[in-house]
Structure 1
Amino acid sequence: MSVRLRAGAVALAAASALVLTACTGTETGTGGADRATGTASPTVDGAAQQRAVTALGSVAETTAGTMRLADGLVPPTNRWFSGLVYGDAPQPVFPTPISWQVTDDGFAAGLPVVSATEKTIAGGAVQQVGLDLGADRTLVSAYDQVSVTVEHRAGAAVLGRTVLAQGSPLVSYTAEGAQTVTVTGAVTGTGDGPDGTTTGTIAADGRTWGVVTSGEVDGRSIRLAADGSVVLFPVPDDATTKQVQALSAAAASPLQQVTLARSSTGSGSDGAQRTALGYRTAATGKTVIVPQPGQGATGLRCTGLHYATITGDAPVCIGDVLRFSAPSLPADDELDLSGLTSSQRDTLVAQVRADAGGVSAASFGADSYGGGKDLYRVANLYRLATQLDLDDVATGLQQQLVTQIDQWTDPDGCGVSGTRCFLYDDTVKGLVGQAPSYGSDEFNDHHFHYGYLLSAAAIVADGSDDLVAKWKPVLDLVAADIASPAATESFPELRVYDPYAQHSWASGYSPFADGNNQESSSEAVSAWNGLARWGAVSGSRATEELGDWLLANEAVSAQRDVLDPDLRAFPGFEHTVVSLNWGGKRDHATWFSADPAAPAGIELIPMPAVAADYVAAGGEEQIAKVLREAVPEGDYAVQFGDYLLMYRALASGAEAEAALDAARDLPAEDIDTGNTRSYLLAWIMARG
């Protein structure tokens, strides 16, 4: 149940008009922007945004519970490290390539032992090395898009802080005051390191870890002065003494934070979306960086060594900035029907009229996921009607869509109906649809849900200044919830997206020992397509450019890690699609079904026009392999059978013809709630 803090819609509209007016460039850099609230980025008017969310109204009670979080920080939902903040006890986390977890008196780290079974590639948390600090609790005291700082305390006293980061094998501990810490194993082979440090190694569970410290080592004890440090890292297999020395030198300065810069080059499909992650150490020098397999190592000096990870062997490199790019994938929500034959056009016209005849007020759900999919389904039908010059059909559909989207974007909507509306959670700093589904009130899956709404609104408002002006106040907040370009008092920066992993995380509070996870890569891609399209339609170049960057990167990850993954390093894994990706494992499975069609289908839904440019990147052979697993009997009358037919149509002209024949006869109950037979047929026809 929720209550409202009432304020006028006029105030909301006025505030929203200011929120992104300063966002102009394609180059954006951040450094620790999420570390505190109340400081708006120069590109976002945080004060205006705060007025807008105040006008919207607040939830009665947050679901977050007690958090292990320093005062003044925006609660980090949907991060790889969210499990450190929420829940009864901190969960293990997986800053690739290592695992790390809180212990009773300090922390333990490990290099996961990667194994593969029929359906799972596992690399769970292991405790190989760690420090006894005498701590009895932890909290997250700082974070950015890639790194997290964990504060260790004994009662009210701060003992020190550990910094972890995606793409870094380092565990960097810095003491608050003079203290003696105990290592879980004896430090041996000690010698002189750079800048007066001592280097050594620790052997544990068949793994050797390097140690670099500014303190005095005595067996298992290290005496640290105030601001003294201990840095731990796993020694790669087959490393020579010289290579270990080089890594120790690069690891000598504790990691402090990771900055993010994004930019684009070129335009359209010839362009690229670039990412630069700057690994900043206390001494501002080079450090150890581990790119993902296939990500590239531009500008880094790689050692020839590797760490085994759940995505393959990752190179061990030295440098200060990890740079990579993804081919631009121009946002698109309109099928190209120019090649339809007259017979196909007649068929499609009849089907659009039939599907439109079934649309009524009862066709739209009230929750943010089901209702969002319903809006998306009818919006695509409306788009087809306009393309086919069915003015009477288009007008009727548009009227129904406007009525529905008006409810979702009415700042007083929750005071009227109580559903089909958003309220603001001032604790977690985000919008919550007031008919929660799939844990959306715990910030699960917001990008999946809200992407459908943004996509539908972009289709319906395209070319209408009046609709844009009416919907923009709330929809800009919806966009900021999942992808604010900078941290503000109202929203975290890029809530769900992990720039290192190149994909989003779906669990809000991440209450799992395997880390955070994401199932539907395709709904994430669709969300960023919707964000970019809403930016273009609403006139926000900043939103459009951010959507373009997110879209390109998420699509690369979906193709590389999900739909066409390189699985040669995991011979025990017997499937072609990896449908549920965690920090500590990868599964051929879904949350909702054991049906063989589910793992592939959930990675295709909802097949926006832009999907054709990445889901088929594996080619005809990979599509055939995926479909042999998904529909082994060739029967598409299954959940997601419609999307599997659309996927089949991308293989070749002959396969498109076969898919079209099957689509005409597919039982209505096997067409997804986010789809229509009209869109199914049009998608396949457009492949011809």
Structure 2
Amino acid sequence: MRRLTTAVVATAVALSACSSDLGDATAPPSRSGSGSASPPGGDSAPLPASEIEPLVAALPELSLAPLPEMRLADGLTPPTNRWFSGLVFGEEPQPVFPLPLAFSMDDTSFGAGLPQVVTSETAIVGSHQQDVSVEVGDAATTVVAAYDDASVTLETRDADDRPLGRTTIAQGSPYVTHVAVADETLTTSTDFAGSGAVVTAETASGPWGMRLDGAELDGDTFSLGRGDSIVLFPVPEEGDLDAMAEHAVPLTGTTSSYSVGADEVTTTITYEADGTSAVAVMPHQSGAVDGACRLGTFPSVYGSLTLCAGSTLTWSAPRVRADGALDLSGLSNDDREELAAQVARDVDDLPDAPADTYFGGKWLYRTSQLMTIAEQVGAEAPAREARAQLVELLRTWTQPDGCLERSERCFGYDPAWKGVMGQTAAFGSELLNDHHFHYGYFLYAAAVVSEADPSLVDELAPVMTLLAADIAGGADTGTTPKWRPFDVYASHSWASGTSDFADGNNQESSSEAVTAWAGLLLWARAAGDEDLERQAEWMLGSEAHAATTYWTNFDTSEPVYDGFEHTAIGINWGGKRDYATWFSPEPSAILGIQLIPMSPSSGYLAEDPDRITANVEEAGDGPLGDYALMYAGLAGASEAASALEQARALPGDAIDQGSSRSYMLAFLMIQAASG
């Protein structure tokens, strides 16, 4: 999607290396997410425990919200911001969407269904019914017992807390695996029939199959001995029961790896099973479709999912360039003079910095951009003033023991949530909501201000490293999680910490997620952390590709969009997609939240000029319209020139806190000059 100026030798990075062996019914699950101090990957992963633990020890403990009671085995890191978080948090477990399936559970049972997709003018919704439910005899409780990059394992226990069986689901897998840990009896909601290793049932959503290994069927009841298993699955459209059954081997977990090349970033997920499984390919993974993809298709709210035989899924996305500042070198003298006058006004009018991590982070980011604009156009006094204010505030925020001295603009550590918390919460950040949105602004600003003064890196690094670890640690250190919000299979992040929703987790601001990884990359580069920089390259390219595929540039000719009357999505969930935002119904806000903050790294949005024009026309005027103006400029030089004239006349109160008139003018001047 973006032109590249630096070639990087492709480097593969292993992300996790072991999973539980559910074939051994006595072995407790042990996968990444276990909370152990030496998880798979250990010190070979970016931001390892040896680096993070001393930094956490220097922060004061900070508890802003009690950790709710969880359906989680002892010793596991609370899995916030995951596709399956709804199974763990909340008064009752919520449905989750390991596509192509919907899955749900309660204390004594579990069930799966094939989502039935309904498209309206403002939403694409998938159902979460249980086509087949399974009641576990003698069950009293069910908890999440293990999780890794793309799978989760539940453990059902009796009244004495003894395990009865373990159930594993995974993103991209059409199979639900249940392995008996002790003698147990399972009762299904639908009668299965057949003899031998494969039995079938008819449901309202179509045929389902079950492969038995040691289990015995009697009507609607299955008897399993220790180590026996069942694997439940739907039969896809134009699919074949026997072919599906052939690949219905018990799944034990997943691992993943990535590589960064000169032009692409590549992701591989391996589904660990005793044989060859099958995987569902999402639209953003379309490059993975090959000759093995003959098993049929499944519907989903994201489009048709192609089912392929195999136990690995590999796909690539364009590499995206991260820039700390706009390049104003090609502007005319008149443009530079206009910017010099405007940046002087904007720096002089800087408001007091907010105390919370969201608006406080945006203040830092905006000021860093004002500083670089002033420096490039020769506005020396505003540049010095912006730098002075920026450095002073960054030093305040990054004082490790700051929360012992004041009640705002500081960070602490919550050992229950295992998260780095800002003292003043915003938008549920005390519940781990939106941390990547917030902390991306801090990382971006810190990297920009350090470029001309590398001596600042060491001063800012202790807290900045912790912010990076909170959202992007490369392994579960027992202190911080692995990739808190980032979903390897979906290639994008999830914003809700606890995800107490029947539609799964969600993300609204795809652009702020991209900005987070651009900020992470820039900070890693400033800090000289090559491993973290490489990981950030992968996350940035992956998230940007998902952002265009599912939020701003989805293929409206695909059948799933028939009847959907808009060209952008406001919120994507695990099980639905909405033309909406959390804060405004205005079309300009729905588009604008996918653009904010139009950073110097936002060129990934420029891939389709015609779609840009269509999106802007639909958005019209209103909240976040300043970002729509900058976005319009990516469609071409003439569009940028028109948007520039509108930007000059835009009322000051129509400019978002994360931007400035100086930045908006500079951004559009660059696009207008490109013609």
Q: TM-score, normalised by structure 2?
A: 0.93
Question: After superposition, where does 1:222-261 map in structure 2 within 5 Å?
Answer: 222-239=222-239, 243-251=240-248, 253-261=249-257
- Aligned twin of 2:7: none
- Aligned twin of 1:577: 568
Q: 1:60 to 1:495 in 2, by over 3 A?
A: closer
- Aligned twin of 1:145: 149
Question: After superposition, where does 1:323-342 map in structure 2 within 5 Å?
Answer: 323-342=314-333
- Aligned twin of 1:35: 34
Measure, in 1, the Cα distance between the counterparts of 2:309 and 2:35. 30
- Aligned twin of 1:11: none
Paired amino acid for 2:155: E
- Aligned twin of 1:207: 206
Measure, in 2, the Cα distance between the counterparts of 1:132 and 1:481. 38
Contact 1:451 1:531 in 2 (8 A): yes
Measure, in 1, the Cα distance between the counterparts of 2:367 and 2:205. 58
Question: After superposition, where does 1:525-564 map in structure 2 within 5 Å?
Answer: 525-564=514-553
Measure, in 2, the Cα distance between the counterparts of 1:230 and 1:355. 65
Paired amino acid for 1:500: Y
- Aligned twin of 1:477: 466
Contact 1:299 1:323 in 2 (8 A): no
2:581 to 575, 584, 590: 590
1:497 to 476, 480, 486: 486
Quick check: 429-438 or 290-299, which moved more?
Answer: 290-299
Contact 1:299 1:322 in 2 (8 A): no
Question: After superposition, where does 1:45-84 map in structure 2 within 5 Å?
Answer: 45-60=48-63, 62-84=65-87
Question: After superposition, where does 1:510-659 map in structure 2 within 5 Å?
Answer: 510-567=499-556, 568-569=558-559, 570-612=561-603, 614-617=604-607, 619-631=608-620, 636=621, 638-659=622-643
Measure, in 1, the Cα distance between the counterparts of 2:223 and 2:537. 50
1:121 to 97, 120, 124: 124
Measure, in 2, the Cα distance between the counterparts of 1:389 and 1:206. 66
Q: How many angstroms does 1:254 deviate by?
A: 1.0
Question: After superposition, where does 1:146-545 map in structure 2 within 5 Å?
Answer: 146-155=150-159, 156-188=161-193, 190-192=194-196, 198-214=197-213, 215-239=215-239, 243-251=240-248, 253-266=249-262, 271-281=263-273, 283=274, 285-296=275-286, 297=288, 301-303=292-294, 305-359=296-350, 362-545=351-534
Q: 1:35 to 1:299 in 2, by over 3 A?
A: farther
Paired amino acid for 1:35: S
Q: Percent identity?
A: 42
Q: How many angstroms does 1:103 deviate by?
A: 3.7
Q: How many pairs align?
A: 640
Where 1:673 maps in the other structure, the secondary structure is coil
Paired amino acid for 1:27: V
Contact 1:522 1:606 in 2 (8 A): yes
Measure, in 2, the Cα distance between the counterparts of 1:26 and 1:348. 43
Post-superposition CA distance 1:621-644 (Å, at most 9, x none) = 21121112110xxxx4x2111100
Where 2:504 maps in the other structure, the secondary structure is coil
Measure, in 1, the Cα distance between the counterparts of 2:518 and 2:501. 29
Q: How many angstroms does 1:128 deviate by?
A: 0.6
Q: How many angstroms does 1:468 deviate by?
A: 0.4
Unpaired stretches in structure 1, ≥5 consecutive residues? 1-23, 193-197
Q: How many angstroms does 1:62 deviate by?
A: 4.4
Post-superposition CA distance 1:533-552 (Å, at most 9, x none) = 00011111112111111100
Q: How many angstroms does 1:353 deviate by?
A: 1.0
Contact 2:344 2:382 in 1 (8 A): yes
Post-superposition CA distance 1:326-364 (Å, at most 9, x none) = 1111211221212211211111111111111112xx521
Paired amino acid for 1:219: G
Contact 1:300 1:321 in 2 (8 A): no
Contact 1:503 1:557 in 2 (8 A): yes
Measure, in 2, the Cα distance between the counterparts of 1:343 and 1:88. 61
Measure, in 1, the Cα distance between the counterparts of 2:246 and 2:371. 61
Measure, in 2, the Cα distance between the counterparts of 1:53 and 1:300. 49
Q: How many angstroms does 1:206 deviate by?
A: 3.8
- Aligned twin of 1:109: 112
Measure, in 1, the Cα distance between the counterparts of 2:407 and 2:451. 28
Quick check: 392-401 or 76-85, which moved more?
Answer: 392-401
Measure, in 2, the Cα distance between the counterparts of 1:345 and 1:468. 30
- Aligned twin of 1:94: 97
Contact 1:298 1:324 in 2 (8 A): no
Contact 2:243 2:295 in 1 (8 A): no
Measure, in 2, the Cα distance between the counterparts of 1:60 and 1:517. 25
Quick check: 436-445 or 56-65, which moved more?
Answer: 56-65
- Aligned twin of 1:5: none
Contact 2:284 2:546 in 1 (8 A): no
Paired amino acid for 2:74: D
Q: TM-score, normalised by structure 1?
A: 0.91
Contact 2:60 2:404 in 1 (8 A): no
Measure, in 2, the Cα distance between the counterparts of 1:663 and 1:52. 44
Measure, in 1, the Cα distance between the counterparts of 2:457 and 2:320. 24
Contact 1:642 1:671 in 2 (8 A): yes
Contact 1:660 1:685 in 2 (8 A): yes
Measure, in 1, the Cα distance between the counterparts of 2:431 and 2:205. 40
Contact 1:85 1:140 in 2 (8 A): yes
Contact 2:108 2:142 in 1 (8 A): no
Where 2:154 maps in the other structure, the secondary structure is strand
Where 2:299 maps in the other structure, the secondary structure is strand
Q: 1:641 to 1:107 in 2, by over 3 A?
A: same
Q: How many angstroms does 1:25 deviate by?
A: 6.6
- Aligned twin of 1:12: none
Contact 1:114 1:123 in 2 (8 A): yes
Where 1:572 maps in the other structure, the secondary structure is coil
- Aligned twin of 2:6: none
Post-superposition CA distance 1:222-257 (Å, at most 9, x none) = 111101111111111232xxx321210101x21111
Contact 1:293 1:311 in 2 (8 A): yes
Where 2:98 maps in the other structure, the secondary structure is coil
Q: How many angstroms does 1:310 deviate by?
A: 0.5
Paired amino acid for 1:210: G
Where 1:107 maps in the other structure, the secondary structure is strand
Contact 2:279 2:309 in 1 (8 A): yes
Tell me the C-alpha RMSD between the 2 structures: 1.5
Contact 1:519 1:580 in 2 (8 A): yes
Measure, in 2, the Cα distance between the counterparts of 1:84 and 1:611. 35
Measure, in 2, the Cα distance between the counterparts of 1:316 and 1:149. 22
- Aligned twin of 1:3: none
Where 1:383 maps in the other structure, the secondary structure is helix
Contact 2:365 2:445 in 1 (8 A): yes
Post-superposition CA distance 1:403-462 (Å, at most 9, x none) = 100111001111122211111010121101110000000000000000001111111111
Paired amino acid for 1:273: V
Contact 1:62 1:425 in 2 (8 A): no
Q: How many angstroms does 1:491 deviate by?
A: 0.8
Where 1:615 maps in the other structure, the secondary structure is helix
1:681 has 2:665 as partner: yes
